[in-house]
Amino acid sequence: MPGVRVRFAPSPSGSLHVGGARTALFNWLFARGQGGRFILRIEDTDRERSSPEMVEDILGALQWLGLDWDEGPFLQSERLDRYRQVADQLLSANKAYRCSCSTAELAAKRQAASASGKPWKYDGTCCGLSSDRSAERHARGLPGVVRFKGPRDGEVAFEDRIFGRIVHQAKQIEDFVLVRSDGMPTYHLGVVLDDLDMKISHVIRGADHISNTPKQILLYRALEQPVPVFAHLPLILGPDRTRLSKRHGATAVNTYRDQGYLPSPFCNFLALLGWSPKSEVESLSTDELIHQFSLKGVNKSNAVFDLEKLSWFNSRYLRNAPAERLFPLIKVELDSEGLWNDEFDSSGRAWMMKVIDLLKQRVRMVSDFATQGRAFFTDDFAIEDKARRKFLKSEVLTVLMPELAARLESLTAFGLEETESALRTFAAEKEVKAGLLINAARALLTGKAVAPGIFEVMAALGQERTVARLSDTSWMEDEPRAGE
């Protein structure tokens, strides 16, 4: 589709959250799939809430997601003269007026309307003032705002690409504020002028903006400019079907990054929140998402954020990803936990690839390599209580495990077949179940009740480390904790 230009315009009053990330993703996918342009704009005119730190946070989150922009980032704070120029233009054309109603006056009117059970909208008190009277009040320095002078009859309708035809009665739309008393533009003035100047063809944003759209269409009409295509995305809800918020857990994208989620499965998961692909396959690469995405596939119904499903996508990606691709990510995690050894990237690199392939079948996040897999990268690890209670409670193990260690030490080859044969033969000789020794060895070698296959673990650790850990009897002296 030639001429497609879309934008993502976050406010830097907080971190990039899941809903904003999905909006950015859908815009980006649409632009990439249609051969268009993806523009990044920062709406930073709220001086009290915006901060440079949040701008950097948002940019970092977008970069982590892989959502590169073609133009920008543009800052609204650098376009203030443009907004004021157009506000003056609308005032001169009698399409806007100055309003000096005080905050107290407006609050009183709202309260009166609420008490009578009626909805309130600005009643146009200052609209009736003559231009001379309005200018005189403004010249005297009375605090005030600039309001849009809307029509009193007719309708405002638009064809939403997702929700269909939406109609609002003009008389229900108040004369909304264009410029605040401090001279800063409101959202409505800023977003319309930005979209016009940046030649935005499609406005793809959350459904919570549907109520803003009629006001903005009125502004387009007043400026005698074409209206872009609107597509409003369904909301993202928590498991309890209320709007996703912090009470449901993390909502900031960078928090998920720090928890060990990966950008590719995260984007795959986000894409399916309110959009149905053409195929029945859920696991899609970035290229497949670009190829399949369309606004026709976006659902009207709200989407539910399922953390378990996100974790499933992440674990599936880890299982299928080559060890070499995961290696730099795992290196960061190991380094942050003090587990990194430069040998892992030199003489021990081949060993690292084998360990990654072994561990990735059971992990859900990159951080799990440093937690669940700690025993592979250091001898400084603890045996978890569950493993101790379940697999090390038999007194006979205090004798059998050192003897098993001696048997394994005598092996001339230390592969999967040799270690399994030695353990099972030893179990038969001692007339105990092989499972008793396998589970105890798993606890002593990894510290975990659940781990990869024990013989794969032995092969990965090597003969020397396996024998040393099974020979170590210090676990017998550990006092059981209260309640065990």
Annotated catalytic residues are 246
Q: The dihedral of CA 415, 421, 426, 431: what is its sign?
A: positive
Q: What is the DSSP letter of 224?
A: T
Of the candidates 347, 470, 303, 328, the one whose C-alpha atom is nearest the C-alpha of residue 403 is: 470
Pairing verdict, β 177-179 and 164-169:
unpaired
Check if the beta carbon of residue 202 is closer than 8 Å to that of residue 4: yes
* Amino acid sitting at position 8: F
Neighbours of 390 (CB within 10 A): 13
Of the candidates 325, 328, 329, the one whose C-alpha atom is nearest the C-alpha of residue 261 is: 329
Residue found by looking up tokens 């309130």 in the block: 120
Angle, helices 187-197/213-222, rounded to nearest 10 degrees = 60
Q: Is the peptide bond before 10 cis (omega within 30 degrees of 0)?
A: no
Of the candidates 91, 90, 30, 81, the one whose C-alpha atom is nearest the C-alpha of residue 197 is: 81
- The tokens describing 296, both together, are 């026709």
How far apart (Å, rounded) are the C-alpha atoms in residues 416 and 456?
6
| Strand partners for 7 | 39
Beta-carbon contacts of residue 401 (< 8 Å; ≥ 6 apart): 437, 440, 441, 444, 470, 471, 473
Q: The dihedral of CA 295, 299, 304, 310: what is its sign?
A: negative
* Amino acid sitting at position 370: A
How far apart (Å, rounded) are the C-alpha atoms in residues 91 and 75?
25
How far apart (Å, rounded) are the C-alpha atoms in residues 285 and 456?
31
First vs last C-alpha separation in the chain: 67
